[in-house]
Chains A and B, each alone.
Chain A
């Protein structure tokens, strides 16, 4: 990994997301959105990393990311997702879910739609109305699913004023994150260490499956599904542990990997290279997990100019190039074959890295030190 550019942006970044590319496009990622938190005024901003050949008015140079536009957001930005090319969905700590629309011709953002009482502890009808933070949002055009601290799951549809489906009290603890498994199924993680699968085709308010860790009920904070194999799911926990699950088999994780020293805030499979996984944590580090087995052999004291790498298993390095088997390399539990190379991507430890996103060869992440890091050469 060569150049990683840092820019201080005067706001603590809670979420960063690449704008998705049009299908079939050959371009690389160019635009990303960020959300801030913990300010008196929080903002959703759009940034561009397009090539600026000359110095622009800001004195930035090529590779530096520039602010395109931003809009005020009420409450902390708890989660952010691109709904499509122009629309961004944001989850707020006030329990409100907002869809923002980007106007590329005059570079502005505006509010397209809003569900202000998506999440609450006591409802808007009662005198003691108390809102609850919306902690996670996931989109699958035209559906939007949100979860929150009130243990509620909402299914919205763009341009519908009311929620299409609401599961009240889906969980007695806080739901931290949600992801789609197959289209009518979603998977949520909560603060007592459980994964729950919900099927929207069923009418009841019960999950169709519950998986949990044995041992301590460590809260799970993030979840991501393998892009190609829809039964493989990765979760990150409060103790920094990365777990890989196979939801078809059993109720326990397939592998547990000791990773960070503090809460893991986000885990992402690379969308086009799913043998690569990225995690970021409260301990200020961002790790790149490489489980691909078609790399040339390296010695165990591998150093690549400035970044540190560690190997996970004790396999001897006289292994021939293993032909990539159909089973995902994440699920294989054979210690002799298992080799995961872990690389720390940030140059120095900072405050918490709250969010990351990967698209193609580009990675963006945001920290509590009010900095955004971008690299366009992940796999160099």
Chain B
């Protein structure tokens, strides 16, 4: 059993007396359902629980924040751009691209921060204002951590430029640093100070820098030892600061807002050419000296410390615990993975950390009614479990309009998820049939290439025809086009309608041969044969002979086929007799017509041959 990283928080459910009654719960993809049961801890169970509600508990409320939504959407675009970066780019160009991506992410965070800050100021309700302000500080912390990770892990600044980056970092996040630099610049050696930091980066090597600094440092020490500034204690303490004396620095604690500010200042004056691997030593001691045993480190401090120690996994782990939303860790880990910094740290179920975090984040997006579309792209870039996760999630998106269904189907089709396409189309087609929208139902079966459903729809049409004596939705049946080939029944429907049309246009010969072919080619369902034969009656009774002798023989054969193999229905005797009556009358009429037609056909064919 793993040990807990922190104490679990307790959430009270309003309206439920948890001391008296037990609650039941169930997990969802991103939420939990909770309700009160009738089971009582001590006494006998009561009839009805006192609280009639089911509660949904969400851990991730950020997903519902209006302003953070912009963060999710903009970072989605950056994420996609990052995935599409040419894999073959190496070296400097790749690094500069990755740094640019990192800066893009950070600017998006800062834009969100700005907006939330404006909203916090303008909030009328102080509780709301406080909530927004705390969100702002969370975002600010996120940007702080990201910036540090960018400097240490992505930019990978070597000794020399490293401190410049760290200075910028602190300057960006701590406003009070300006007052301190004003103090320093007001010292006796501003020119030496300025020129020292005028590093273009290329023209001086690290050793030259070190030598220069050594020289300057020794000069300062000499001034201190010579007590040159003994008359002015202010200047003396300034000198001590410039020598990197920790005690002197700590005296100015009010100006240094936090330990990392102290750290960078200290490094500036004691070891400006610090190497990245030595950072953690200074970081730990700075933290201890600054806190001075009065307070314990906060989560943010631990995260920054882990970063200084170049322990990426620890950084990510601590961030995952501290933040309520997977956005930050998912995107940061993905970026670091692109920098090839994460070893394939295998977790229990086989996928690596980057994929795990992206899956968690994307699943969280799917729990939102609107942001699920973003989640799709994240699943695409999870090679092991992404596709399977997407298949499961996409089938569960509620489809309340056809337009939304079309978007979901397009997503499935683009990824060749034929099973999901078929199942979604079937649901929609079934819904359409229930609403009597047979054209829509057919349209969905065509999209899914679902022959079985097309057959179902055709059977509905045929049944309607038998009941009403005419076709409904002629605009559909007359214009089936190539879709007719989707299923035999559908083809039959189209052809049958064509027969009616031909009859209406008095093209009797064509209609007759079509009717015959419908029966002999066996695409007509057996149940319909009687109807077809009855349809043949008016043709048989025409003045002119339409069916040839051959065709009449075929018709008679069909009729015999039908009557000889009539199955026995389990109906009551009287009904059976009535049905039989009607049936026998029909059959007799048909037989008579066929015989008469046969006679006339033989005579006509015989005569033609003769003359």
**Interface contact A191-B435, CB-CB below 8 Å:** no
Known: A37-B404, A40-B369, A215-B482. 18 other contacts (CB 8 A): A8-B74, A10-B69, A11-B370, A58-B118, A59-B115, A76-B404, A93-B400, A151-B440, A172-B473, A207-B475, A217-B446, A282-B407, A282-B410, A350-B77, A368-B373, A368-B407, A369-B76, A371-B73
Mask, B45-83, CB within 8 Å of A = 1, is: 000000000000000000000110110011011000100
Q: Is the CB of B403 closer than 8 A to any CB of chain A? A: yes
Question: A residues 287-307 with Cβ under 8 Å of B?
Answer: none
Q: Is the CB of A246 closer than 8 A to any CB of chain B? A: no
**Interface contact B401-A78, CB-CB below 8 Å:** yes
Q: Please, how many angstroms separate the alpha-carbon atoms of A160 and B438 in the complex? A: 32
Q: Is the CB of A121 closer than 8 A to any CB of chain B? A: yes
Question: B residues 395-450 with Cβ under 8 Å of A?
Answer: 400-404, 406-407, 410, 414, 435-440, 442-443, 446
The one of B67, B77, B472 in contact with A10, judged by C-beta atoms closer than 8 angstroms, is B67
Mask, A11-43, CB within 8 Å of B = 1, is: 110000000000000000000000001111000
Question: A residues 193-228 with Cβ under 8 Å of B?
Answer: 194, 196, 207, 210, 212, 214-217, 219
The one of A38, A192, A352 in contact with B439, judged by C-beta atoms closer than 8 angstroms, is A192
**Interface contact B439-A8, CB-CB below 8 Å:** no
Minimum CB–CB distance for B414 against chain A, Å: 8
A residues in contact with B479, CB < 8 Å: 192, 194, 210, 212, 217
**Interface contact B443-A191, CB-CB below 8 Å:** yes
Q: Is the CB of B114 closer than 8 A to any CB of chain A? A: yes
- Give the secondary structure class of A's interface: loop
**Interface contact B118-A57, CB-CB below 8 Å:** yes
Minimum CB–CB distance for B527 against chain A, Å: 23
Q: Please, how many angstroms separate the alpha-carbon atoms of A188 and B322 in the complex? A: 55
Instruction: Please give the residue numbers on chain B whose beta carbons come within 8 Å of chain A beta carbons, in ascending order.
Output: 66-67, 69-70, 73-74, 76-77, 81, 114-115, 118, 122, 369-370, 373-374, 400-404, 406-407, 410, 414, 435-440, 442-443, 446, 472-473, 475-476, 479-483
**Interface contact B440-A38, CB-CB below 8 Å:** no
Contact A133:B401 (CB < 8 A) given known A10-B67, A173-B442: yes
Contact A59:B74 (CB < 8 A) given known A38-B369, A150-B437, A217-B480: no
29 CB contacts below 8 A, A to B, read A10-B67, A39-B369, A40-B369, A57-B118, A58-B118, A76-B401, A76-B404, A93-B400, A121-B435, A121-B437, A122-B435, A133-B403, A135-B402, A135-B403, A151-B437, A151-B440, A172-B439, A172-B440, A172-B475, A191-B402, A212-B479, A215-B482, A217-B446, A217-B482, A348-B81, A351-B374, A368-B407, A369-B76, A370-B70
Closest to A194 in B: B479
Total interface residues on A, CB under 8 Å, equals: 53
Closest to B461 in A: A172
Contact A192:B401 (CB < 8 A) given known A10-B70, A263-B410, A370-B73: no
B residues in contact with A40, CB < 8 Å: 369
The 3 closest A-B pairs by CB, nearest first: A173-B439, A172-B439, A172-B473
Contact A173:B73 (CB < 8 A) given known A93-B400, A194-B479: no
Q: Is the CB of A338 closer than 8 A to any CB of chain B? A: no
**Interface contact A149-B436, CB-CB below 8 Å:** no
**Interface contact B77-A348, CB-CB below 8 Å:** yes
Q: Please, how many angstroms separate the alpha-carbon atoms of A371 and B76 in the complex? A: 12
B residues in contact with A229, CB < 8 Å: none
The one of B401, B443, B481 in contact with A214, judged by C-beta atoms closer than 8 angstroms, is B481
**Interface contact B369-A172, CB-CB below 8 Å:** no
**Interface contact B442-A192, CB-CB below 8 Å:** yes
Question: A residues 118-147 with Cβ under 8 Å of B?
Answer: 121-122, 130, 132-133, 135
Minimum CB–CB distance for A279 against chain B, Å: 16
- Give the secondary structure class of B's interface: helix
Minimum CB–CB distance for B368 against chain A, Å: 9
**Interface contact B407-A171, CB-CB below 8 Å:** no
Q: Please, how many angstroms separate the alpha-carbon atoms of A203 and B480 in the complex? A: 27
Q: Is the CB of A190 closer than 8 A to any CB of chain B? A: yes
**Interface contact A151-B439, CB-CB below 8 Å:** yes
B residues in contact with A352, CB < 8 Å: 407
The one of B70, B373, B438, B439 in contact with A191, judged by C-beta atoms closer than 8 angstroms, is B439
A residues in contact with B76, CB < 8 Å: 369
**Interface contact A191-B77, CB-CB below 8 Å:** no
Question: A residues 256-279 with Cβ under 8 Å of B?
Answer: 262-263
Instruction: Please give the residue numbers on chain A whose beta carbons come within 8 Å of chain B beta carbons, in ascending order.
Output: 8-12, 37-40, 57-59, 76, 78, 93, 121-122, 130, 132-133, 135, 149-151, 171-174, 190-192, 194, 196, 207, 210, 212, 214-217, 219, 238, 262-263, 282, 348, 350-352, 368-371
Q: Please, how many angstroms separate the alpha-carbon atoms of A136 and B465 in the complex? A: 31
B residues in contact with A151, CB < 8 Å: 437, 439-440
A residues in contact with B446, CB < 8 Å: 217
Closest to A368 in B: B373
Closest to A219 in B: B443
Q: Please, how many angstroms separate the alpha-carbon atoms of A172 and B437 in the complex? A: 5
Q: Please, how many angstroms separate the alpha-carbon atoms of A62 and B481 in the complex? A: 54
Contact A172:B77 (CB < 8 A) given known A149-B440, A217-B446: no
**Interface contact A149-B73, CB-CB below 8 Å:** no
A residues in contact with B442, CB < 8 Å: 173, 192
A residues in contact with B443, CB < 8 Å: 173-174, 191-192, 217, 219
B residues in contact with A11, CB < 8 Å: 370
Contact A351:B373 (CB < 8 A) given known A10-B67, A191-B443, A210-B479: yes
A residues in contact with B436, CB < 8 Å: 121
**Interface contact A172-B472, CB-CB below 8 Å:** yes
A residues in contact with B404, CB < 8 Å: 37-38, 76
Minimum CB–CB distance for A238 against chain B, Å: 7
**Interface contact B481-A215, CB-CB below 8 Å:** yes
**Interface contact B369-A210, CB-CB below 8 Å:** no
**Interface contact A172-B438, CB-CB below 8 Å:** yes
Q: Please, how many angstroms separate the alpha-carbon atoms of A8 and B74 in the complex? A: 8
**Interface contact A150-B435, CB-CB below 8 Å:** yes
**Interface contact A39-B435, CB-CB below 8 Å:** no
**Interface contact A370-B435, CB-CB below 8 Å:** no
**Interface contact B437-A192, CB-CB below 8 Å:** no
**Interface contact B66-A10, CB-CB below 8 Å:** yes
Minimum CB–CB distance for A321 against chain B, Å: 42
Closest to B400 in A: A93
Q: Please, how many angstroms separate the alpha-carbon atoms of A172 and B479 in the complex? A: 12
Contact A39:B481 (CB < 8 A) given known A59-B118, A76-B401, A78-B401: no
**Interface contact B440-A174, CB-CB below 8 Å:** yes
The one of A58, A149, A217 in contact with B481, judged by C-beta atoms closer than 8 angstroms, is A217
A residues in contact with B118, CB < 8 Å: 57-59
Minimum CB–CB distance for A150 against chain B, Å: 7
**Interface contact B435-A130, CB-CB below 8 Å:** yes
B residues in contact with A57, CB < 8 Å: 118, 122
Q: Please, how many angstroms separate the alpha-carbon atoms of A74 and B188 in the complex? A: 70
B residues in contact with A282, CB < 8 Å: 406-407, 410
Minimum CB–CB distance for B445 against chain A, Å: 11
Q: Please, how many angstroms separate the alpha-carbon atoms of A135 and B436 in the complex? A: 18
Minimum CB–CB distance for A215 against chain B, Å: 6
Q: Please, how many angstroms separate the alpha-carbon atoms of A173 and B73 in the complex? A: 35
Q: Please, how many angstroms separate the alpha-carbon atoms of A154 and B473 in the complex? A: 19
Closest to A206 in B: B475
**Interface contact A262-B410, CB-CB below 8 Å:** yes
Instruction: Output the residue of A190, A194, A370 with the most chain B CB within 10 A.
Output: A370
A residues in contact with B438, CB < 8 Å: 172
Closest to B473 in A: A172
Q: Please, how many angstroms separate the alpha-carbon atoms of A149 and B442 in the complex? A: 14
A residues in contact with B435, CB < 8 Å: 121-122, 130, 132, 150
Minimum CB–CB distance for B477 against chain A, Å: 9
**Interface contact B475-A216, CB-CB below 8 Å:** no
B residues in contact with A219, CB < 8 Å: 443
A residues in contact with B122, CB < 8 Å: 57
Q: Please, how many angstroms separate the alpha-carbon atoms of A135 and B76 in the complex? A: 29
Minimum CB–CB distance for A8 against chain B, Å: 4
A residues in contact with B77, CB < 8 Å: 348, 350, 369
**Interface contact B440-A369, CB-CB below 8 Å:** no
